[in-house]
Amino acid sequence: MSAEVHFPEAGFEASEPAPRQFGQNFAAAALRGGSVIAFAAILLTFALTAPYFLSIGNIGNVLGQSAISGVLAIGLTIVLIAGGSNVVTGGIDLSLAANMGLSAAVYATLIQLGHGDVVAVAAAVATGALIGIVNAVAVVLAGIVPLLATLAVMNVISGLELVLTQNTVLPASTPFLSLLSSADRFGIPVLAYVLIGFTALVAAIVQYTPLGLRLYAVGEFPEAAHAVGLPVNRLVAGAFIAAGVCGGIAGVLSVSYLSGSTTGSGEMLLPVVVTALLGSVFSRRLVPTIPGTLLSVLLVGFLVNGFQLLNISSTLVSGIQGALILIVVSATTLLRRQEG
């Protein structure tokens, strides 16, 4: 005899009363619809008030400026999918911004020492992957809660970056970096194409392959995943390593955008967390998805860009981002608590 285990549909239980399920579905639909309406309202408001907001050049600039945070947010989304989107007990990687900073410093250092782009890129990506491995070991083998494990790793990485750079900016210039920082004949930055291509590649893997389905199964139904024999620990560890690789790639993009390393990588953490968490409201079941993260990247990018065009202090953006985290996490937590 053989037993077959099925993963249940999120938000559905056979014994659940119809009125309750209807209320949950309505609340979820309202949250998704409200997010789309808010996105459209932001675009409409800035289109009517900010000069050149909807021009091709400005849209390309938003995509280019969002490439670094977008790659980091996609890495965090992979961790959220595999570890569960509960930010306290589930998957989270607070070391991604610091990862980007150290990877950028490694890249710039090797360029200054006379190494070529191939060596420098490989070292930056390897640095990011190594940080991901450290996170995976801390979470999977040591059993430390991801929130605390990645916070500790973040502090260690930040210290290593300060030692490597002596708290100074390390300039770097190569033909490859010049290519990444250039634009096409329509004024659209190459980084915009990098963001779109990278998102399409990761989305194809995570959303449409058996590996991606296993990541969702592990994150949403860990006990059922164990029951059917999925390698839960390896999948979770792989998610952290993939996120680390994203941090390394973002470090290379950062050097091309800033023409060197940066000492302010920690400031990227809040926007990245906002983007990854906000992306879940663009999905049908309020779960993290790669396309949802891209929409969230664009929402935050256009918000910042609109403020800049209207000469409104960008410091307000941090307050708005904090409010978005509170709203999204509170709403999704309440909905899932009702489902339980």
Task: Summarize pLDDT for 257-312 with one digit per residue, the tens.
Answer: 998 888 777 788 888 988 888 888 777 777 889 999 998 898 888 888 888 888 87
CATH code assigned to 18-339: 1.10.3470
Instruction: Determine the average pLDDT of the residues in 125-149.
Output: 95
Helix (H), strand (E), coil (C) string for 296-314: HHHHHHHHHHHHHHCCCCC
pTM of the prediction?
A: 0.85
Average pLDDT estimate for 161-168: 89
Handedness of CA 237, 278, 329, 33 (dihedral sign): negative
Tokens found for residue 34: 């409200």
- Given a cut of 50, whether residue 47 has pLDDT beyond it is yes
What confidence category does residue 186 fall into, taking pLDDT thresholds of 50, 70 and 90?
confident
Q: Which of 98, 86, 193 is nearest to 150 (CA)?
A: 98
pLDDT at 13: 39
In residues, how long is the chain?
340
Among 7-21, 93-107, 182-196, 270-284, where is mean pLDDT lowest? Answer: 7-21
What integer pLDDT is reported at residue 222 of this predicted model?
A: 86
Please write the tens of the pLDDT for every residue from 208-256: 999 999 999 998 888 888 888 889 999 999 999 999 999 999 999 999 9
Report the percent of the chain where pLDDT is more than 90: 47
Instruction: Cite the DSSP H helix spans in 166-314.
Output: 175-180, 190-208, 210-220, 222-227, 232-258, 269-278, 290-309
Q: HSE on the CB side for 95, CA within 13 Å? A: 39
pLDDT band at 32 (very low <50, low <70, confident <90, very high): low
Of 277, 240, 274, 289, the C-alpha closest to 128 is 240
Residue whose entry in the numeric block shows the structure tokens 């999704």: 332
- Domain regions of the chain by residue span: 18-339
- Give me the pLDDT at residue 187, please: 83
Residue 12 predicted with pLDDT over 70: no
- pLDDT > 70? residue 146: yes
Check pLDDT > 50 for residue 11.
no
> Average pLDDT in the 162-176 region?
90
Q: How confident is the model at residue 184 (pLDDT cuts 50, 70, 90)?
A: confident
Q: How far is CA 106 from CA 1, 119, 261, 291, 307, in A?
A: 56, 11, 9, 30, 33
Query: What pLDDT was estimated at residue 7?
Result: 43
Instruction: Report in angstroms the alpha-carbon separations of 18 from 22, 165, 272, 335.
Output: 6, 60, 38, 16
How many angstroms separate the CA atoms of 49 and 95, rounded?
A: 37
| Exposure class string for 45-60: b at 16+ Cβ within 10 A, else e | ebeeebeebeeeebbb
